[in-house]
Structure 1
Amino acid sequence: MTFEDTTLYRDITDFAHTTPSWVQHGARTWTEAGLLVFVALFAAGWWRARRDSPLAFATAVLAPLATAVAYVCSEVLKSVVTEERPCRAVADAAVSLAECPPHGDWSFPSNHATIAGASAVALALVRRALLWLTAPLALLMALSRVFVGVHYPHDVMAGLGLGALVALVAVRLGAEPMTRLTGALRTSSAPAVRWVLGPGPALVPPYETAARR
C-alpha cells in the first residue's frame, strides 16, 4: 500500500467519527444489508425475464452466477495477497465503526466491493437502464467499507474492478450455451420447470400480425 492510501484511509475514518450517529448507523447497516438490495434486483430480473426471450432469460440467470464467480475469484486473490485489515494495521487510526474482522480474514480485495461491482455490471447486462441504479449502489457499497473502517480505498477500488470484469466475461461466455439450454428446457411439460423458466414471450396471433403490417 502507499502512504497516500493510508492517509486517505485515516482521513475517511476520521471524518466518519464526525458525522451524526444516524449516518454512522446507516453506514453500518448499508455495508451489510445493501447486498440484499442486489439479491432483490436479481430476483426481479429473473421474474421479468420469464416472459422474455431465451437470451434475455439466460442473461438474467447468469447474472447472479457471474457474481458468485467474482466472489470466488476475490476469495482466491485474498488468500494469495494476505493483506492485513487497516483497522489493525494502520497506527493511530480512528476505531472502526464496524467490528474489525479477525486475523486471517484478509483485506485485499474487498469481497463486498467485488460483489457490488459484479452485481452492477451483471444487472446492467440484464437491463441496460438498471446501470443508473446499480452503479451508484455499488459505489456507495464500496465507500461504506472504507467509511466503517474495515478496508483501504485500494481494496474497494480493486474489488469493484475485479467484480465488473469477471461478471462481464462470465455473462458473455455463458450467454450462448445458457440460451440454448433455456430454449430446450422451455419445451418441457414438467410444471416446476415451466414455472422456473416461464412461458417465454407471448406469441402474437396471426390476425394481429397482419393488422400491424
Structure 2
Amino acid sequence: MTASRALAVYDGSGIDGGLYTRVNGWAQSAPHWLDELIKVWSALGLGLFAVFMLYAWWRARGADSAVMARVLASPVIVVVAYAVNSVFKGMVEEIRPCAQIPGSVALETCPGTGDWSFPSNHSVIAFAAAAALWFVDRRLGWVAGLFAVLMAASRVWVGVHYPHDVAVGALVGLLVAVVLAPLAGRCGPLVDRMRASTLRPLLGPGRPQPLVNHGHSAYRAQGH
C-alpha cells in the first residue's frame, strides 16, 4: 500500500479506542474457558440464525401466505444488508483495532489489510436476521435479537472490532430489515400460487382463508 493510500485509510481509534482497550483488557484477564467460549460463539454463532430461520419456515407452513413470504424473504434481507455493509466498508476503510491499538490482543487471528473493520459484518448479519424474524414472529425475533447483541459484543471481546463498528453494523442490519420485511409481506399472493404448485410440500397448506358472507352464500376470502 502506497503512502498516499495509507493516508486515506481511516483510523477509528479516536472514537472509542479507550473503551475498546478496556474491553480488550477484560478479555486478556478473563478465565481461559470464558475466552474460548466467546471465541467459539463469535466464530460459529451466525449459524444459529440460520437455525432460527429454518424453525420459522417450519412453523410458517401452517401460517398464512404473508407470514411465509416474510420467512422466505429473511435470508434475502440478510444478503442485501451484507451487500449494503460491504459498500460502507469499501468507502471508509477502517483499520482493525487489533492492528493499530498498542497492547491489544485478538483472541482470533487479526484480519489483514483490506479486511476492513467498519461496520461489523457479523453484527449486520445477526441484526438483519433478528429484525426480519421479528416481522415473522415477535417472540422469535426477541430471542434472536438477544443473540444478536451477544454476537455484536463478542466481536469487540475477541478484539477484532471497535464498539462503534458493531453499533453501526447493528443499525445497518436493522434499517435494511425494517424497510424490506414489510414489503415482503405483500408477496402473499405469490406464495398462494406457489402453494398451489409442486412447491406445496415445502410451503405447507397454510392457514385456511376465513369465510365471508356475500348475500345468502358463503365464499372463501380468496376463493370463487
Q: TM-score, normalised by structure 1?
A: 0.89
Question: Equivalents in 2 of 1:129, 1:8: separation in Å?
Answer: 32
Q: Does 1:100 align with 2:110?
A: yes
Q: Secondary structure at the match of 2:104?
A: coil
- Which of 37, 44, 49 is 1:38 aligned to? 49
Matches within 5 A, 1:82-97: 82-90=93-101, 92-97=102-107
| 1:69 partnered with 2:80 | yes
| Equivalent residues, number | 200
Aligned-pair distance for 1:161? 0.6
AA paired with 1:186? R
- Give distance in 1, aligned partners of 2:163 and 2:85: 16
1:165 positional shift: 0.7
Matched, 1:57 2:57: no
Secondary structure (helix, strand or coil) at the match of 1:134 reads helix
Return the offset for 1:180: 1.7
> Once the 2 structures are TM-superposed, how far is the Cα of residue 24 of structure 1 from its aligned partner?
0.4
Aligned to 2:154: 144
Compute the TM-score of the two structures, normalised by the length of structure 2: 0.85
Contact 1:51-1:202 at 8 Å conserved across structures: no
Q: Which has the higher Rg, Structure 1 or Structure 2?
A: 2
Q: CA deviation at 1:204?
A: 8.8
Structure-1 residue corresponding to 2:23: 12
- Percent identity at matched positions? 41
Following the alignment from structure 1 to structure 2, what is the Cα–Cα distance between the partners of residues 155 and 41? 25
Report what 2:124 is aligned to.
114
Give the RMSD, CA atoms, in angstroms. Answer: 1.6
Partners of 2:115 and 2:42 in 1: how far apart? 17
Which deviates further from its counterpart, 154-163 or 54-63? 54-63
Query: Which sections of structure 1, spanning at least 5 residues, go unmatched?
Result: 206-213
What residue in structure 2 maps to residue 21 of structure 1?
Answer: 32
Task: Kindly state the Cα deviation for residue 4 of structure 1 after the two structures are TM-superposed.
Answer: 5.2
Deviations 1:61-114 (A, max 9, x none): 111211111111111111111111111122x23211111012101000000000
SS of residue matched to 1:126: coil
1:150 Cα deviation from its structure 2 partner: 0.3
The answer to whether 1:158 aligns with 2:168 is yes
Contact 1:85/1:150 (CA < 8 Å) preserved in 2? yes
Deviates more, 1:1-10 or 1:166-175: 1-10
Q: Distance in 2 between matches of 1:109 and 1:37?
A: 21
How much has 1:202 moved relative to structure 2? 5.0
SS in 1 for 2:94: coil
- Code of the residue aligned with 1:71 in structure 2: it is Y
